[in-house]
A and B are shown apart, each in its own frame.
Chain A
């Protein structure tokens, strides 16, 4: 991983500070290392770099002017929301500007009749649902980080949550994004209607990791809160059985509000932290939620219970009240922080796989645990196939860090090999950039670069992330050959 250090260029820095100070108040331009230090990394803390300058605009006009100035000075710009991203998407550029949207955190309008909210990018995901709650409405995508992450960052990563199988990802719940281009032009993607003329640029901007434009205002859809929700906690003596049970629920024509799985190492890790009352002897636990009217939930819970029994669950518990429902979920929701309790560090992976290959992938991960001598509990969005293996390691030991990275790399490539993808919701960022060379061929990568140029000709917005250069892929290919494990020998290389 990188050393977190590039030599600062004082002349370039003072030029940037001077220009930014003409746009922003003095306290909104940070450059002393003790002030820029809090911005040196996002949720992927193994990668660090001090930004040359941090700019904290308060409104769209300031964002536009900062971007225009950066373009004039040829300064790279990295947008940052809350910095909870897990792929280094908001990792600063040592010779550029870290553009924090944290001060732009106002809910500008909330229309309960039209069921939309217009918010600034720095608004926290959960704050939107809290503001909508008095009207019986909420914002559906609920990443586990929702108390902290920003809606701008959600757009940047197309974030999902445990309820996204039924209610969709960020891309399904945002109507419009206002954004500034690197030229400092304000553009709108989408509209307050259900579509907009022209290409669907709203879809293109989702998950674009701050590389196409900087979101300055987001209009989200609000949906009515279901009358009630209940969750089944089902225990299995075998992980593959649990995976198959998830498939059986889908095959029965049910789209549960949530369908999540944890393996035994994961439940054991979280139980000591949250005391959810999980069965620690189970090889895997499945959480199946139903929401809707009381009668509807009753009907669906009955249907799901029948399927789970058939699929070999040896124990069930059905939440009898809201407190119990939340307790059943608490372990799953707190899975990541719980890993932080039992291990100095954890490394969260994010591949999506066809659900039917789950058994194979879990066996592969178990082999990798042995090969690299590291533990790896798994939590799984079983409904949509998004797997989060969590490698436990100690970042202070460079040797462990190296093994962790190699472990993660193999799991990502396994995800591709079984017909999946290297990232379901956390993004490529800097973390998975090498594996992009495996998932896409050179012509596809070139098309991504062309898309980038259509928005940002000079490549100033979040450079070196997400889309690898030709050169980088060539380097990576060479490394792989040296390691004697070229993943796709048939693919053309440079």
Chain B
């Protein structure tokens, strides 16, 4: 596999010398996400495979091109999981793409996001240098934490070669409940339950219906069911349901309207915006299918202390990500230059000047 790294490094060095942009790409399942796609494709799938997996250390290290499905299958075989339930958005999803996209699924509300599970990365920077940060152990504060910020960097900082992730056990038991609640009441109850020691691991509200997933010890689930009430969903149906939320194959996500991702404080009241909403993460994540103009949506999100991303849309001229305040944007530009002095990696995918 070392020769693959050398090939990638060579490619990067010549692209840097020629100032020709490179587009880092795995299975292309997240091509829709982000701003522009510029440059020649560098396919990360040649560097593939699980490097090390130690179930008793709760750590797995995999190469960027490893299919996400293969990684998850290996974990499930040993009773472990990627607790942040990353969306695949297609059979081709790779581990590197998952990290670069930085997206998390339904269990994020209880378990944490991709970045919370990153222990270390090995990467090629814009000079083609092979660098390792973090490591394969659970706690590590040697040097700055350069690994976690790779999550969600959309390939703008470098080519992620390998990542080490913390992999917790699968829950002993799960149950899914269904309740009828209007939006304001659902948000209120989600926050109320959030303050109680209840094993809620996922939620999805849309169209007057709230679905809740409980995960943990069987006894804890039984106790929580008493508190929450609602109707129990059949196991197979529940699995399909959460899969459809995670992969956005649920009918809600098939809307023709632009799909916005609103990340808000969980207590934010229902936003009076035109369109349909689906709420996850205990009230912190609100999907909005809406034709309202970008400014209205961004202002509504900002007003309650959140931000709005134009997640899926044909027309992205309004900007995919919320613009950064000037001082923070300056830090971004300097970091980008530190990792990628020639500015070749996934130029413009996140912000026009990164």
A and B pair up: yes
Interface residues of A (CB under 8 A from B): 111-116, 135-137, 157-158, 160, 164-165, 168-169, 171-172, 181, 183, 185-189, 191-201, 203-204, 206-208, 212, 224-227, 247-248, 250-251, 253-255, 292-293, 295-296, 298-300, 352-356, 381, 383-386, 419-428, 432, 436, 439-440, 443-445, 447-448, 450-455, 466-467
A354 touches B125 (CB 8 A): no
Could you list some 23 contacts between A and B, CB below 8 A? A115-B194, A137-B195, A165-B138, A185-B327, A193-B264, A197-B309, A200-B151, A204-B148, A224-B194, A253-B79, A293-B219, A295-B217, A295-B220, A295-B223, A296-B217, A352-B138, A352-B139, A421-B141, A424-B138, A424-B139, A425-B141, A452-B144, A454-B331
Interface residues of B (CB under 8 A from A): 54-59, 79, 102, 108, 112-113, 115-116, 125, 129, 131-133, 135-146, 148-149, 151-153, 157, 168-170, 172, 191-192, 194-199, 216-220, 222-223, 263-267, 281, 284-285, 305-307, 309, 321-325, 327-329, 331-332, 334-335, 337-339, 350-351
User: B224 — nearest CB in chain A belongs to which residue?
Assistant: A293
Most buried by B among A111, A356, A420: A420
A428 touches B338 (CB 8 A): no
Most buried by A among B56, B138, B144, B145: B144
A385 touches B220 (CB 8 A): no
Q: Closest Cβ of chain A: how far from B129's Cβ, in Å?
A: 5
Contacts of A114 in B (CB 8 A): 191, 265-267
A224 touches B139 (CB 8 A): no
A193 touches B131 (CB 8 A): no
A194 touches B284 (CB 8 A): yes
A208 touches B332 (CB 8 A): no
Contacts of B328 in A (CB 8 A): 187-189, 198, 201
Given the known interface contacts A194-B113, A299-B219, A385-B137, the answer about A203 and B143 at a Cβ–Cβ threshold of 8 Å is: no
B141 touches A427 (CB 8 A): yes
Contacts of B199 in A (CB 8 A): 292
Given the known interface contacts A194-B108, A194-B281, A198-B350, the answer about A164 and B139 at a Cβ–Cβ threshold of 8 Å is: yes
Bound-complex Cα distance A448 to B220 (A): 45
A419 touches B136 (CB 8 A): yes
Q: Which one, A255, A356, A444, contacts B56 given CB within 8 A?
A: A356
B335 touches A199 (CB 8 A): yes
B54 touches A292 (CB 8 A): no
Q: Which one, B139, B142, B172, B195, contacts A439 given CB within 8 A?
A: B142
Given the known interface contacts A112-B195, A158-B145, the answer about A354 and B307 at a Cβ–Cβ threshold of 8 Å is: no
Contacts of A169 in B (CB 8 A): 139
Contacts of A206 in B (CB 8 A): 145
Bound-complex Cα distance A196 to B102 (A): 12
Contacts of B332 in A (CB 8 A): 198-199
A191 touches B307 (CB 8 A): yes
Bound-complex Cα distance A352 to B141 (A): 10
Contacts of B192 in A (CB 8 A): 113
B140 touches A247 (CB 8 A): no
Q: Closest Cβ of chain A: how far from B132's Cβ, in Å?
A: 7
Contacts of B125 in A (CB 8 A): 447
A199 touches B153 (CB 8 A): yes
Contacts of B133 in A (CB 8 A): 444, 447
User: A165 — nearest CB in chain B belongs to which residue?
Assistant: B138
Q: A293-B219, A444-B131 are in contact. List 17 more A-B contacts (CB 8 A).
A: A136-B196, A157-B141, A191-B305, A191-B307, A194-B263, A194-B281, A198-B324, A203-B148, A204-B145, A247-B57, A292-B199, A421-B142, A423-B141, A423-B142, A424-B137, A440-B143, A454-B338
Given the known interface contacts A171-B145, A251-B55, A451-B144, the answer about A425 and B307 at a Cβ–Cβ threshold of 8 Å is: no
Bound-complex Cα distance A189 to B149 (A): 12
Contacts of A189 in B (CB 8 A): 328
Contacts of A247 in B (CB 8 A): 56-57
Given the known interface contacts A251-B55, A292-B197, the answer about A181 and B141 at a Cβ–Cβ threshold of 8 Å is: no
Contacts of B149 in A (CB 8 A): 199-201, 203-204
Bound-complex Cα distance A200 to B121 (A): 15
Bound-complex Cα distance A342 to B200 (A): 47
What total count of A-B pairs have CB within 8 Å? Answer: 260
Chain B interface main SS type? loop
User: A159 — nearest CB in chain B belongs to which residue?
Assistant: B141
Q: Closest Cβ of chain B: how far from A167's Cβ, in Å?
A: 10
Given the known interface contacts A255-B169, A425-B141, the answer about A295 and B222 at a Cβ–Cβ threshold of 8 Å is: yes
Q: Which one, A187, A225, A250, A356, contacts B327 given CB within 8 A?
A: A187
Contacts of A448 in B (CB 8 A): 143-144, 146
Q: Which one, B129, B148, B265, contacts A200 given CB within 8 A?
A: B148
B219 touches A386 (CB 8 A): no
User: B351 — nearest CB in chain A belongs to which residue?
Assistant: A198
- Nearest 10 Cβ contacts at the A-B interface: A295-B219, A454-B334, A450-B338, A203-B148, A384-B138, A424-B139, A253-B169, A296-B220, A247-B56, A193-B263
B57 touches A226 (CB 8 A): no
Contacts of A116 in B (CB 8 A): 265
Bound-complex Cα distance A133 to B133 (A): 38
B339 touches A355 (CB 8 A): no
B335 touches A451 (CB 8 A): yes
Q: Which one, A112, A204, A420, contacts B146 given CB within 8 A?
A: A204
Contacts of B55 in A (CB 8 A): 250-251
Q: Which one, A423, A450, A451, A467, contacts B140 given CB within 8 A?
A: A423
A354 touches B136 (CB 8 A): yes
A207 touches B264 (CB 8 A): no
Q: Closest Cβ of chain B: how far from A427's Cβ, in Å?
A: 5
Q: Which one, A136, A168, A208, A439, contacts B116 given CB within 8 A?
A: A168
Q: Which one, B144, B168, B339, contacts A255 given CB within 8 A?
A: B168
Contacts of A385 in B (CB 8 A): 57, 137-139
Bound-complex Cα distance A384 to B168 (A): 12
Contacts of B139 in A (CB 8 A): 160, 164, 169, 352, 381, 384-386, 421, 424-425
B327 touches A191 (CB 8 A): no
Q: Which one, B145, B169, B216, B305, contacts A193 given CB within 8 A?
A: B305
Bound-complex Cα distance A40 to B79 (A): 51
Contacts of A439 in B (CB 8 A): 142-143
Bound-complex Cα distance A267 to B272 (A): 61
Contacts of B334 in A (CB 8 A): 453-455
Bound-complex Cα distance A195 to B137 (A): 25
Bound-complex Cα distance A195 to B131 (A): 27
Contacts of A203 in B (CB 8 A): 115, 145, 148-149
A194 touches B153 (CB 8 A): no
A421 touches B169 (CB 8 A): no
Bound-complex Cα distance A253 to B350 (A): 38
Contacts of B196 in A (CB 8 A): 136, 224
User: B222 — nearest CB in chain A belongs to which residue?
Assistant: A295
Bound-complex Cα distance A386 to B141 (A): 11
Contacts of A353 in B (CB 8 A): 137
Q: Closest Cβ of chain B: how far from A420's Cβ, in Å?
A: 5
Q: Closest Cβ of chain B: how far from A182's Cβ, in Å?
A: 12
Bound-complex Cα distance A297 to B220 (A): 9
Bound-complex Cα distance A381 to B138 (A): 11
Bound-complex Cα distance A353 to B57 (A): 10
Q: Closest Cβ of chain A: how far from B197's Cβ, in Å?
A: 4
User: A451 — nearest CB in chain B belongs to which residue?
Assistant: B144
A424 touches B141 (CB 8 A): yes
B338 touches A453 (CB 8 A): yes
Bound-complex Cα distance A112 to B169 (A): 30
